[in-house]
């Protein structure tokens, strides 16, 4: 039975499926939200669910039910929302079980690692929407105040015509990182390398800011690691339906590990977000400034253009400002606020399954393009044209030679 979710006071009853690190994180986020109460923890490993329940009970909150399956949880207690925090390959069956029972669903990223299963989830979500159910996919960085400010300016005309953007994730992972688990660095279980695992959030933010991607052209390489199947370095160019052009760069071979950042550039303004904080923001103050800039020849065009970032977001969301308390918790918390409101009001959530499908298709398209050596249309990826393509990344000759001498 589902609660009356139109009531503004009754908390929504949440079941968390998957009591690992991210599932427990979702439970902590829910505990901090007045609109949610955790009523069930589901895990095929009983000790995992019991341990998570112990943690919740220790906070003073009511102890949730623990079960091995979502079906058991639905049968034994009233649930309004199911948060799916299981391995990606299980998302389809769990979402179907929850939606068939009339529950709203939250899916932890990624939506999936394969397009066929992702399309299945999209079809389930479309059907659920017709029945008044909300299905959302976690993409918490879309709710970071810095990224919200950039997207608002990009979508609302503040930057004028958005012409281009760059997403760059320059991180470092040692060989030991990949050697620490048999699943790491595999297509089947990891889904990809520097793009799918480290860069997916930043790619998603670039897509959100620049528009719907139309075509992607990419190259990937394994340049600094051994004994893995996936890429540690990738570059790509993307054409968007707005006409804007984007660049994607992701690597786990940038010692000592720098930042994840993206930039959006337009005819009337530009912005840079670095590690979730606003590093630069400027919008032309008036038409006269734009007119005078057109007659100048220097690189910046406008002398002494004021960086407006501190006027756009609070100081804890500006590079150089004080850190936001519990940033990881706060990011998911902002998205859960949106999900609760979407359920209460009957609107679409801020991140839909279709949004997640497009971002996943962009990543998949990058791998397909690099493997086939040709540009790839994103709609063709979504429609299944390239489902049979098995990604391939070749180690660089230099790296291979160095590995042979080690």
SS (HEC) of the chain: CCCCCCCCCCCEEEEEECCCHHHHHHHHHHHCCCCEEEEEEECCCHHHHHHHHHHHHHCCCCCCEEECCHHHHHHHCCCCEEEECCCHHHHHHHHHHHHHCCCEEEECCCCCCCHHHHHHHHHHHHHHHHCCCCEEECCHHHHCHHHHHHHHHHHHCCCCCEEEEEEEEECECCHHHHHCCCCCCCHHHHCCCHHHHHHHHHHHHHHHHHCCEEEEEEEEEECCCCCCCCCCEEEEEEEECCCCEEEEEEECECCCCCCEEEEEEECCEEEEEECCEEEEEEECCCHHHHHHHCCCCCCCCCCCCCCCHHHHCCHHHECCCCCCCCHHHHHHHHHHHHHHHHHHHCCCCCCEHHHHHHHHHHHHHHHHHHHHCCCEEHHHHHHCCCCCCCCCCCECHHHHHHHHHC
Which residues in the chain show pLDDT less than 70?
1-8, 294-301, 303, 396-406
Domains in the chain, CATH or no CATH each: 12-137 (3.40.50.720), 142-321 (3.30.360.10)
Gap between the Cα atoms of 315 and 324, Å rounded: 9
pLDDT value of position 399: 55
pLDDT value of position 3: 41
pLDDT value of position 406: 47
Condensed to tens digits (0 to 9), the pLDDT of residues 149-183 reads 999 999 999 999 999 999 999 999 999 999 998 88
Give bridge partners of residue 38 from the DSSP assignment. Answer: 14
Predicted TM-score (pTM) of this structure: 0.92
pLDDT value of position 296: 64
The separation between the first and the last C-alpha atoms of the chain, rounded to the nearest angstrom, is 62
Q: Is the peptide bond before 256 cis (omega within 30 degrees of 0)?
A: yes
Decide if 330 contacts 141 (C-beta within 8 A): no
pLDDT value of position 402: 59
């Amino acid at each position: 039975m589902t609660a009356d979710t139109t009531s503004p006071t009754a908390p929504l009853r949440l079941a968390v499926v998957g009591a690992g690190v991210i599932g427990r994180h979702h439970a902590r986020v829910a505990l901090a939200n007045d609109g949610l109460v955790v009523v069930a923890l589901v895990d095929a490993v009983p000790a995992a669910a019991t341990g998570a329940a112990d943690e919740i009970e220790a906070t003073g909150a009511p102890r949730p039910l623990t079960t091995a399956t979502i079906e058991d949880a639905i049968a034994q207690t009233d649930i309004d929302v199911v948060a799916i925090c299981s391995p990606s390959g299980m998302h389809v069956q769990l979402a179907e079980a929850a939606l068939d029972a009339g529950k709203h669903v939250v899916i932890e990223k990624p939506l999936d690692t394969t397009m066929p299963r992702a399309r299945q989830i999209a079809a389930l979500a479309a059907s659920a929407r017709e029945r008044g159910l909300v299905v959302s996919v976690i993409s918490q960085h879309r709710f970071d105040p810095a990224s919200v400010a950039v997207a608002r300016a990009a979508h609302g005309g503040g930057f004028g015509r958005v012409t281009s953007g760059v997403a760059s994730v320059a991180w470092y992972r040692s060989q030991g990182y990949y050697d620490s688990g048999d699943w790491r660095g595999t297509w089947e279980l990891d889904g990809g390398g520097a793009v799918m695992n480290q860069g997916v959030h930043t790619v998603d933010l670039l897509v959100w800011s620049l528009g719907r991607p139309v075509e992607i052209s990419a190259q990937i390489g394994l340049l600094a690691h051994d004994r893995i199947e996936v890429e540690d370095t990738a570059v790509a160019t993307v054409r968007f339906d707005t006409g804007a052009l984007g660049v994607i760069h992701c690597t786990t071979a940038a010692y000592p590990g720098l930042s994840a950042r993206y930039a959006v550039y337009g005819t009337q303004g530009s912005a840079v977000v670095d590690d979730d904080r606003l590093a630069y923001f400027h919008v032309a103050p008036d038409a006269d400034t734009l007119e005078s800039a057109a007659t100048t020849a220097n690189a910046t065009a406008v002398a002494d253009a004021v960086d407006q970032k501190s006027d756009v977001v609070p100081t804890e969301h500006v590079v150089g400002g004080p850190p936001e308390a519990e940033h990881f918790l706060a990011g998911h918390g902002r998205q859960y606020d949106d999900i609760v409101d979407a359920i209460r009001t009957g609107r679409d959530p801020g991140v839909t399954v279709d949004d997640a499908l497009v971002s996943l298709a962009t990543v998949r398209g990058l791998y397909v393009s690099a493997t086939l050596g040709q540009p790839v249309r994103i709609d063709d990826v979504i429609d299944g044209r390239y489902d049979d393509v098995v990604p391939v990344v070749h180690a660089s000759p230099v790296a291979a030679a160095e590995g042979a001498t080690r």
